[in-house]
Amino acid sequence: MKQLTEENAREYALEKFKELPELNFKWNILHSEGIIKILNILCANKDINKTKLFALAWVHDIGKTISEENHAKLSLEILKKEFVLDEVDTNCILNHGASGNPKTEEGKIFRYADGLSLFTKEVLVYRFFAEAKEGFEFEEIKERIKKIYNKYKLSYADSEEILKLLEDLYKKNFLDKSSFLEKRSRKEGGATSQDIMK
């Protein structure tokens, strides 16, 4: 078995996520990249092994190649067959969701990054695109995102710093963009993911 590195984790994830439908494949890649973006913010000025967390960002959802349900546990089972995992790896993987209860400092940071990544510009753009492709109307997508925001707002109530970052990301990447998208959508009969990026 090999040590988990950012490079081999990325390669492994790209290969495994190919087993998913195209929309899910792209979602998992953007979500992983979003986590890394947020980890860079959360780990600034902290004595944390960022590269370990970057590696975990790529593979923490690998269990979704089998099932969405219990995917964290499935991820751990799959990864243990391929990589040497330590306590921090296990803690981050098993506790990355909104309802997770990590015991390590790295696990806590990773849990926050996992949820905050859902509000990065790239992930939100893709959510609008993918959910529209699945048949959801613009207003339905907005409501779904608001619901996710409220879930994480409750889940992250233990940290004012994280709540502030969540609110800032939500406002900057969703509220400020959604009013533009709504106008654009009404005017031109639909907004594309490229519209959102502008």
Q: What is the pLDDT along the chain (198 residues), one digit of tens a residue?
A: 899 999 999 999 999 999 999 999 999 999 999 999 999 999 999 999 999 999 999 999 999 999 989 999 999 999 999 999 999 999 999 999 888 899 999 999 999 999 999 999 999 989 988 898 899 988 999 999 999 999 999 999 999 999 999 999 999 988 877 666 555 444 444 445 444 444
Number of domains composing the chain: 2
Q: Do residues 131 and 191 both lie within one domain?
A: yes
Domain boundary, last residue among 101, 117, 133: 117
Q: Do residues 100 and 129 both lie within one domain?
A: no
Domain boundary, last residue among 117, 133, 162: 117
Domain boundary, last residue among 117, 140, 169: 117
Q: Do residues 157 and 88 both lie within one domain?
A: no
Secondary-structure percent of the chain, ordered helix, strand, coil, rounded to 5: 75, 0, 25
3 sits in which H/E element: strand 2-3
- Give this prediction's pTM: 0.89
- Specify the 3-state DSSP secondary structure of 71: helix
